[in-house]
Amino acid sequence: MELQRRIYTSIKWLIVPFVSILIAEPTGWPPDYPVQLVSVEMDSIYDQLFQANESGWLGADAATSIVLSETRTLWLFGDTFLGDVIDGKRIPNRFYINSTIAIQDRTAPPLQSIRYYWRREGARDIAFFPYQTGSSGEYYWPTSGVRIGDKLVVFCFALHKDWGNGWVAGTISVVIDNPDDEPMDWKLSYYDMNIGNDHFGIHSAVYYEKPYLYFFGWDDPDDDNMQRRTILMRAKATDILKGRNAEVLEFWAQGKRGLHWQKNRENLVSLFIPGVTEMAIQYDAQWGLYYCTTYVPEKPDIFISVAHQLTGSWSEPVRIYSNPEHKRMTYAAKCHPELSNQPGELVISYITAPIGVDIENQGMDVYRPRFIRVRLRKKD
């Protein structure tokens, strides 16, 4: 099957080595770490947020949340199964599509707050972010985004349908002029940023601190994915909203002038290892700390790294959770700041990949966002 080939190939592309990671049990974190773990548990409410619909949305890849207003949150998903729940099983009897979204009304009870969206082309379901003729690749995966003033920008991988060498074709930015309207009425402008490939990506996570939009990405030094690391870039938010391409990026690097921003990719700073394709940043204003999630897809563990500034220095990642239902992959670990209630609290989603493409007989919890709630304490 096409999807099965895709899953196996994507695993090869996503896999990063378990190198230079400080592996610590929750009770044995390094004594010099700025925070310590208090508890981690499945979130009993939000873990039910993305259960399969009786008909329609059955489950999807990844989950990125973007706060649109005091009451509305946008959720981005990649590949999505559509179909029906029959006799307690998900039956994906409609072809999967490459992107869907959901709008969450945060004034409603969580389990009644979600509405899903995708597009139709005649009688056929198609992605919410459909391919634009003439751009890089042949389809898109949305992975990150941010509200900037009265506009919204979403970043997507542009991908080839041939999942061999050169699968990643580049990066697409999608600027939405009217994100407060209903999604099917959004005015979307697609821009090819002319950057990104199988060994380098810029939008694992994005974070906005006026006037800059910061990009946490990854690269494989010497095109060797066994060295994959997290790197940092930035651009003026106004340039991104105008659809400017990679020429506006600056890279965080180490050189004769010490740590500095520069226009080329030489001598980039490695923030931490591993670098991954999908992560998220959360800022804890009361404690003055940034948190970043990371993981090794073929292993069950989720990690966080901590820093006082976006530019670092970032701590060695430390394990906060091990997925007890791990199958082929545990990945796309992302924090969602709008769901936290207090300092030192992280609500993190992740995906358990199915074995092959048979979600019908693998239970209701694979290939949908799962949620844990992490509580930390700040060291005196």
pLDDT digits (tens, 9 = 90+) for 322-338: 999 998 999 999 999 99
pLDDT of residue 14: 58
Percent of the chain with pLDDT over 70: 92
Type of residue numbered 295: Y
pLDDT of residue 226: 74
Domains and CATH numbers, the chain: 2-378 (2.115.10)
Are the C-beta atoms of residues 156 and 208 closer than 8 Å to each other? Answer: no
The number of helix segments (H) and strand segments (E) in the chain equals 2, 26
Q: Which helix (H) or strand (E) holds 13?
A: helix 2-14
Given a cut of 70, whether residue 311 has pLDDT beyond it is yes
Given a cut of 90, whether residue 17 has pLDDT beyond it is no
Are the C-beta atoms of residues 306 and 290 closer than 8 Å to each other? Answer: yes
Question: At 10, is the pLDDT very low, low, confident or very high (cuts 50, 70, 90)?
Answer: low
- Two structure tokens written together for 314: 């970032």
Question: At 269, is the pLDDT very low, low, confident or very high (cuts 50, 70, 90)?
Answer: very high
- Based on the number of CB atoms within 10 Å of its own CB, is 51 exposed (0-12), middle (13-18) or buried (19 or more)? middle
Are the C-beta atoms of residues 5 and 11 closer than 8 Å to each other? Answer: no
DSSP structure class, residue 341: -
**Section 341-364 average pLDDT:** 91
pTM of the model: 0.93
pLDDT of residue 222: 82
d(CA 182, CA 173): 20
Region of poorest pLDDT, from 39-53, 71-85, 207-221, 353-367 = 353-367
Given a cut of 50, whether residue 1 has pLDDT beyond it is no
- Two structure tokens written together for 278: 């999908």
pLDDT of residue 355: 83
C-alpha gyration radius of the chain: 20
Residue 7: how many other CB atoms lie within 10 Å: 21
**Section 33-38 average pLDDT:** 92
d(CA 18, CA 143): 23
Collapse the DSSP code of 269 into the 3-class scheme (helix H, G, I; strand E, B; otherwise coil) and give the result.
Answer: coil
How far, in whole angstroms, is CA 28 from its chain's centroid? 28
Given a cut of 70, whether residue 289 has pLDDT beyond it is yes
**Section 150-168 average pLDDT:** 91
Residue 190: how many other CB atoms lie within 10 Å: 19
Distance of CA 185 to CAs 119, 129, 377, Å? 11, 13, 44
pLDDT of residue 28: 56
Given a cut of 90, whether residue 233 has pLDDT beyond it is yes
Find residue 290's DSSP bridge partners.
283, 307
d(CA 316, CA 205): 18
**Section 180-196 average pLDDT:** 97
Percentage helix, strand, coil, to 5, in the chain? 10, 45, 45
Question: At 22, is the pLDDT very low, low, confident or very high (cuts 50, 70, 90)?
Answer: very low
**Section 294-312 average pLDDT:** 95
pLDDT of residue 11: 47
Are the C-beta atoms of residues 303 and 25 closer than 8 Å to each other? Answer: no
Percent of the chain with pLDDT over 90: 82
Residue 273: how many other CB atoms lie within 10 Å: 22
- Two structure tokens written together for 5: 């080939």
